[in-house]
A and B are shown apart, each in its own frame.
Chain A
């Protein structure tokens, strides 16, 4: 056992001390923070309010529209600064306003024609007419003013009508065994982030084991090592050592993710609620990474033993990657119907489980027996796969020369 530990220790230190590890471990959370917080901050950032003049040809709508515009707020700030248009004949005033807009003294002006109320129309002239969110806001403000005017014309109280015809605010609350919380689509973003993390780390650390095997073969150091301990022990030590390095990185990321999330929930509360990442989910996250790593990592290691160079490995890696890729493809389907029979079945398949069962855990709370069953099935598969991979490894590490075909490699399993 101490020998397996020596191998694992060497592997672990070699990975953890490398620059690549340091960079990716630090860079990962930074990118993650950017990915999760920036969009929320950015949508809140819309620059200074727009300076707008209202030119009213009808002579009656102006003050109402101006007032309605002034009331509009974004992130607690008035969105429009409304200036009164200079009095006087319409045509010269329009030319004057146009000048001001072009010179940059105004962002735009709103023109209400004499028949604005009848036609239910208004015109906006601005330097920028592609800022959809502002224009939408303006549209609403003008509409409200016009509708209010029509209602009072019919003898109805606009305030009362508004309160009677209020729209519905559909609150989305996710119920779980551990309580309820409001969700405005952030669950989806979270699942996307976590899936991407799982997928990339599994692929990256699987490839790391493979390259480590190839390197030892290229250096010819492997023969020296297996003269001291059996190939299967070397295989075990290697898998554990590289896995421990992966786990270190993954844990750093998971903790950062939780921290970012906690900070995000606190500071961005009002703007875009982030779902809280429960400790339970985090533990499951790390657990599924580990299970996925041993499942895919041992297959990668077997490939590494069969080839001479990383280039040769490419074509063999593809079939191993397939289930991982397939889980990514099935992701939207499982997310839309996480409890459908198909989703449940797929999430129990060991090769899909690391991604899909975890995804279901984010989306709904699958019954405990399903989670337990998927883990048990994975463990059983890992036992079988590592057994076969260790045999391929034992034969492969001393083979140099022509790259074996896939069927040939499978045949190695049967060889003692």
Chain B
């Protein structure tokens, strides 16, 4: 195996200079990304950042105006599509179709023979607690159960890459927990997972690599640990009783984010957290003081500001 092939095959998905515009509005601009094989990759950004458009181009639902997209080392075509499962943000199934028929149909679209698909239906439905609903029409199921069916439809063909747009939205906390477990399990099996979300905290814990995009542009990307390390341990978490309004005025404080039960204080580069501790201890009743890595949310806000495209 030559070095070039090795390099290509390291990326599950590779975008190079991808651009897409709709009627004068640029949705994705010169986006280059490498999603490592076997990683859990978070594509993060606010609504309208261009996440869905990017994923649609990866699935060849939309054609890119410029740039190239490679999947598993090949230009996207029908054979690469079969190796990628896609669950769009706007979920969609056939309401009057029986669950197992539905699943067999979507598997057939990925080239899985009907008999084989029907064999796989049982274990998956069992696992998600839907075994009794196999022969029922979709519109007899609750919204949450329909979500699960949608997920099964995506994983049933056993694709190497799973692209899930807002995978946890619409799920109650228990179901979301179960979904996280299932996703980690798939990751352990060696699947590449691409999770797209505008709620950074929800996928932050799952992902080992991320890309932050805003207004069609890549702000930053890389392994989560690296991204955070790049920003240093310059955040203080403070929990206290009393009025903390003065905190924002302290020297060396860049920004204070109030989370209700605690505040996150972002420090300017080079300033000393000990100074903050002294001031706070003198004026407040502290119950927690911790120096931590910044949250992705914080990093995102910072990156947007640094790019000079302040949120409207």
| Residues of B close to A220: CB separation below 8 A | 88, 90-92
Q: Which one of B7-15, B42-50, B93-101 is at the A interface?
A: B93-101
Classify the secondary structure of B's interface with A.
loop
Using CB atoms and an 8 Å cutoff, list the residues of chain B in contact with chain A.
56, 59-63, 78, 81-82, 84, 86-88, 90-97, 105-106, 108-111, 150, 153
* Cα-based distance from A227 to B61 in the complex (angstroms): 6
Number of A-B pairs whose CB atoms are under 8 Å?
67
Are A398 and B93 closer than 8 Å at their CB atoms?
A: no
A224 within 8 A of B: yes
Would you call B60 and A228 a contact (CB within 8 A)?
Answer: no
Given A220-B88, A222-B92, A224-B92, check contact A416 B63 (CB 8 Å).
Answer: yes
In the assembled complex, the Cα of A220 lies from the Cα of B153 at a distance in Å of 15
User: CA separation between A225 and B60, bound complex, in Å?
Assistant: 12
**B108 in contact with A223 (CB, 8 Å):** no
- Given the interface pairs A3-B108, A225-B109, A226-B61, the reply to whether A219 lies near B78 with Cβ below 8 Å is no
Contacts of B81 in A (CB 8 A): 227-229
Q: Is there contact, CB below 8 Å, between A223 and B61?
A: yes
* B49 CB, nearest partner CB in chain A, Å: 18
Chain A CB within 10 A, most for which of B56, B87, B94: B94
A85–B44 Cα gap in the complex (Å)?
Answer: 107
Q: Is A270 an interface residue (CB 8 A)?
A: no
Contacts of B94 in A (CB 8 A): 10, 14, 219, 221
Question: Chain B contacts of A398 at CB under 8 A?
Answer: 56, 61-62
Smallest CB separation, A393 vs chain B (Å): 13
Assuming the A-B contacts A2-B108, A14-B97, A229-B78, are A221 and B92 also in contact, with contact meaning beta carbons closer than 8 angstroms in the complex?
yes
Q: Verify if A176 is at the interface (C-beta below 8 Å from B).
A: no
**Which residues of chain A have C-beta atoms less than 8 A from B84's C-beta?**
227
B295: shortest Cβ distance to chain A, in Å? 32
Min distance, Cβ B61 to any Cβ of chain A, angstroms: 5
- Chain A residue nearest to B84 (CB atoms) is A227
B97 and A224 form a contact (CB under 8 A): no
B interface footprint on A183-227 (CB within 8 Å = 1, 0 otherwise):
000000000000000000000000000000000100111111111
Chain B residues contacting A229 (CB-CB under 8 Å) are 78, 81, 109
CA distance A416 to B63 in the complex (A): 8
Given A219-B93, A219-B94, check contact A10 B86 (CB 8 Å). no
A370 within 8 A of B: no
Q: How far is the CA of A302 from the CA of B123 in the complex (A)?
A: 40
List chain B residues, Cβ under 8 A from A227: 59, 61, 81, 84, 86, 88
